[in-house]
């Protein structure tokens, strides 16, 4: 009887330790992206792999019509040879991207809003989509405002970042005919004391 009791306690202790170890692994998987920035100045690209509930950030989105308009504007600039281009170094093609490269791209976006980035994922065309999205997410973090990939072709991607209000020649997006885009943040759903989204919260706002 004593032996059976000892074996039972040993089993309970083993299961408890195993569960604790699994919880530790799960939490480390979703560490804050800011903790993964290299002290040497290189930024690890991979923002899409991290979970962010967006409670602290204003989420902006482009409508299909706005994307179409921006692509048309980029085409006009390219035809006039006024679309600014930048090629990333070959050794950074698939990331990580250095602070110098990110600074160069963000500097062009600050002034021109539209920039064509070349040399993305040269070793794998299939990964070019994900690498360009990761680059846009990293630039959004660096610039502290949204950067969008509005078009891509092969190893090239055209990125857009809304300029400041006083930027000369700023692109004016519209939400509908005759109405300028106000760029309002999406309303945040209210949560209860347990952190759960309150059902039918949109109905309360509309009423």
Homologous superfamily (CATH) for 64-178: YhbY-like (3.30.110.60)
Q: What pLDDT sits at residue 1?
A: 47
From the CB of residue 18, how many other CB atoms can be counted at a distance below 10 Å?
9
Ranges assigned E (strand) in 58-207: 84-87, 97-98, 114-118, 148-153, 156-160, 174-176, 179-180
Q: What pLDDT sits at residue 165?
A: 87
Q: Domain boundaries in the chain?
A: 64-178
Give me 46's structure tokens.
């991979």
C-alpha pair distances (Å), 49 with each of 18, 56, 165, 171: 26, 18, 32, 31
Q: What pLDDT sits at residue 98?
A: 92
Give me 142's structure tokens.
């660096």
pLDDT along the chain (207 residues), means of 10: 46 44 33 30 31 42 90 94 93 91 94 95 92 93 93 94 90 64 54 65 54
Question: pTM of the predicted model, to two decimals?
Answer: 0.57
């Amino acid at each position: 009887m004593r032996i059976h009791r000892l074996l039972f306690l040993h089993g309970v202790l083993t299961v408890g330790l195993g569960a604790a170890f699994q919880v530790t692994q799960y939490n480390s998987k979703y560490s804050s992206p800011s903790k993964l920035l290299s002290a040497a100045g290189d930024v690890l690209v991979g923002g899409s792999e991290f979970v962010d509930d967006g409670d602290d950030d204003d989420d902006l989105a482009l409508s299909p019509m706005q994307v179409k308009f921006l692509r048309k504007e980029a085409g006009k600039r390219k035809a006039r040879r006024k679309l600014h281009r930048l090629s990333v170094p070959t050794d950074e093609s698939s990331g990580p991207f250095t602070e110098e490269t990110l600074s160069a791209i963000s500097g062009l976006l600050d002034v021109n809003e539209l920039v064509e980035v070349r040399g993305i994922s040269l070793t794998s065309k299939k990964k070019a989509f994900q690498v360009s999205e990761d680059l846009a997410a990293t630039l959004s973090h660096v610039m502290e405002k949204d950067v969008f990939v509005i078009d891509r072709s092969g190893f090239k991607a055209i990125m857009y970042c809304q300029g400041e209000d006083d930027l000369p020649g700023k692109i004016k997006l519209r939400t509908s005919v005759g109405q300028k885009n106000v760029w309002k943040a999406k309303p945040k759903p209210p949560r209860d004391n347990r952190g759960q989204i309150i059902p039918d919260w949109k109905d309360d706002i509309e009423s």
